[in-house]
Structure 1
């Protein structure tokens, strides 16, 4: 196992937009028996409402005076729910899956004076001006291609031989001829996320400071390695390797389609492993690191998993900090969260399927884990804009159009 892991998350996590006019209203968060902590999380196929409630119950059992209340977000993200609550003057206490930025760091408690925070995964990489506002449970890697072993056998493909994007494209053609949808995608956030998992592995392995340079206006999407990846992606749409109707699918729909054998490959993060395990399909699925137009194996695009922040306006700041400390330092809580979402942390192990072990092997062999944080953190809202531009390729936009659109948007935010 690697002695040092470097990583930073999930594309699906949008940085929080600064909430304005934050007042001090809303409910007290207390009841007759003690303190109630309101916690916002993202619900996913792996991290279900039941999972969170069961996890929180473990804390409540050890802390009889505290009740942890799961704040359901409905159809919006944790980020949007937090922004909404802050704007309404009804702040929650803790939020999961939020990445603070220099612009909004003041909304969150500075945990730099908490000795335990320094020992959490990627604490240094996610620091802002040397201060720690977010702590996490583990790490994810995301530049992975999962594949249906039966489909590869039928198409006569050897996954270990697929190292370049041209070889990847050729494999898709053979899989299509063998009767499979070559590459599974879906709508929502998945389209842009998969593109990022692919392109970042190539571009940021070659130049780890590319995003920082874009922040300084020294590089552009239209005149860099991102344009060829957009051209590859557009080619896959035009040749039918990517199904245009897939934009109508949810994240869960796309995952189910791949698990059911309707498609041959699926670009996704390590958090896909628990879904395959739950479906009892892990032994039927293989995985290889994302092919690139450059070095192979590339660095793995990754992130802090299960990041938590304590909201500065929390009415129970001390209790909220203690709860977050438990989430990221208690061995049982750590192992539960790692196993639930297929994440990794040095010094912690849990029973893994053959697929999980294969992902671990890829991490061990990766030359780096690419973290988009600190100076290399994109402008707030970039993930949504990237998703929009990648999806525009399905409706007639060219790769050049998408690259220039990303540049225009980025410049407009400066």
Structure 2
């Protein structure tokens, strides 16, 4: 995630479906007597180009004759890169962070006959019509609030007592009075993602089938539990708790600002932990589960982490499947990917900082991990539209207008 928010926006379903009809073409990177697997991944502050090349090198050493080539995406997402390659008739072999849906599932290999898939995290939650196309390394949880311990001490706040959105707002008021920017956000995809991490925890805990019901036209954003979250968020903007100028920041800039102590709280997923560890700030940062207008603790909005698919038009499908199997079943490969991005997997442990341990404890206490997949997969492009509507609150839109805008857009897609 997708619904991996920081890695990729919603999948461009229509272009990919059309691209699936294009005949394979283009050149081959295969060396004489060997196989080259082309792999598309998303690059992030944690999962760098060097990280991927080092990981792939480990596989190559164990599998002579196979070379794994990292396909760089430049300024576009992995989804967009895959779309381009398929349209050009030059399919890669493996792709990571692809939003799977009934509309695009035929583009990828059905892995249901591979027995090893059964032991991979959340595999059946992401199945399409009972078939397994996507497998992952672990899972992320995202309904988390990271906080500056010093700021909380100066403001006289106890994180364990912040359970409702009203208490959350009151805490931001105290932090502002203490001289801190209460809530760190930024532009790009972050604004909508943070809203989703907050609102989905409450709404989907109350009704895990809400997204499926929205797909069926039974509920709406404007007349459901989502509206109060828009109202709270707008109030925070108007109170100066969320800085309007932050929309000009990149994801990396916002993360750095929080790590440098310029803000007091930061809504983000478990993948923030490695960044705090790398900055040697983990002991200075605490974390608590997202406050909501409903049950406490709520379920954790989350998703499969490091999800992989094998492209159906791969020229080396058998080798690609073997490579993906290694990525999600080899103990060393699993631990490497989990640790690199602060992800979790049942039955797998690795050395964690104090902050990572705190996140693990939140997961263990959470009543559920709320996943938007299968029948609960939102309409393609939803993450972009949500981001647009949340950012409109910063420029004068009303909470009701933003919610109605989401409904109007969603209805127009069907």
Q: In the TM superposition, what is the alpha-carbon distance from 1:29 to its structure 2 partner?
A: 3.0
Quote the residue 2:217 is aligned against: 217
Tell me the CA shift for residue 281 of structure 1: 0.3
Q: TM-score when scaled to structure 1?
A: 0.97
- Aligned-partner Cα distance in 1 for 2:288–2:307: 26
Pair 1:205-2:199 in alignment = no
**Aligned mates of 2:257, 2:243 — CA distance in 1:** 12
Q: Which residue of 13, 34, 55 corresponds with 1:17?
A: 13
**Structure 1 residue 90: deviation in Å?**
1.0
State the partner residue of 1:3.
none
**Aligned pairs for 1:103-122 within 5 A:** 103-122=103-122
1:128 & 1:106 partners in 2: Cα distance? 10
Deviation at 1:8, TM superposition (A): 8.4
Partner of 2:284: 284
> What are the ranges of 5 or more consecutive residues in structure 1 without an aligned counterpart?
1-6
The residue that corresponds to 1:4 in the other structure is none
Q: Is the 8 A contact 2:2 2:98 kept in 1?
A: no
1:271-314 Cα distance to aligned partner (Å, 9 max, x none) = 00000000000000000000000110000000000000000011
Match of 2:55 in 1: 55
Gaps of 5+ in 2: none
Q: Secondary structure at the match of 1:68?
A: strand
Matched, 1:307 2:301: no
Counterpart mapping for 1:363-402 below 5 A: 363-402=363-402
Query: Once structures 1 and 2 are overlaid, which stretch shifts more, 135-144 or 20-29?
Result: 20-29
Matched, 1:183 2:178: no
SS in 1 for 2:13: coil
- In the TM superposition, what are the counterparts of 1:97-246 in structure 2 within 5 Å? 97-246=97-246
Deviation at 1:189, TM superposition (A): 0.6
Residue of structure 2 equivalent to 1:92: 92
Q: Which runs of 4+ in 1 moved over 3 A?
A: none
Normalised by the length of structure 2, the TM-score is 0.97
Task: Name the SS of the counterpart of 2:288 in structure 1.
Answer: strand
Quick check: 305-314 or 15-24, which moved more? 15-24
CA RMSD in angstroms comes to 1.1
Cα distance in 1 between the residues matched to 2:368 and 2:340? 24
| Aligned equivalents of 1:237, 1:31: Cα separation in 2 | 56
> Is residue 134–residue 307 contact of structure 2 (8 Å, CA) maintained in 1?
yes
Residues 1:406 and 2:406 are matched in the alignment: yes
Cα contact 1:164–1:293 (8 A) shared by 2 = yes
Give the alignment of 1:224-373 within 5 angstroms.
Answer: 224-373=224-373
What SS is found at the alignment partner of 1:287?
Answer: strand
Distance 1:194 1:8 in 2: 13
